[in-house]
Structure 1
Amino acid sequence: MSQPRTYPSEAVELPLRLDAEPGPVPDCAGCTELANVRDRARAGGDMTTVSDCNVFLRRHPEGH
């Protein structure tokens, strides 16, 4: 049987994502609205909604 560790394991280093935010596709009302919601959320300090809008823009249902 092995001895239990009495010290913490090494730190896990996660990658820092510096991807640019996705932009709206020209002439797409859905993309434009998501970008507007993102801008309003950022102005209000709601970074969760900003992140959600970025995900929705990347995974737009029309597959731009």
Structure 2
Amino acid sequence: MSEPKTYPSAPVELPLRLDVEPAPVEGCAGCAELVSVRVRARAVGDITTVTDCNVYLRRHPEGH
């Protein structure tokens, strides 16, 4: 009889994404607010909010 496995499998290695952050559209108050929130979140180490702002900025141009 073989030894039982105590772990499910080898770990999954995900690629490190170093995408450039999206830039705001000039003159758009919504974009400016998202950038402001992103800057404040980064200052306090809230990377989740930084990422959320980046997602919203990427999707925001749909209204432009």
TM range (shorter): 0.7 to 0.9
Residue correspondences, number: 60
Partner of 2:15: 15
Partner of 1:6: 5
More helix by share: 2
Deviation >6 Å, runs of 4+: none
Segments of structure 2 that go 5 or more residues without pairing to the other structure are: none
The 5-angstrom pairing of residues 42-61 of structure 1 reads 42-60=42-60
Partner of 1:25: 25
CA RMSD of aligned residues (A): 1.9
User: So what's the TM-score if we normalise by structure 1?
Assistant: 0.77
Segments of structure 1 that go 5 or more residues without pairing to the other structure are: none
Q: 2:36 and 2:45 mapped to 1: Cα distance?
A: 14
Partner of 1:41: 41
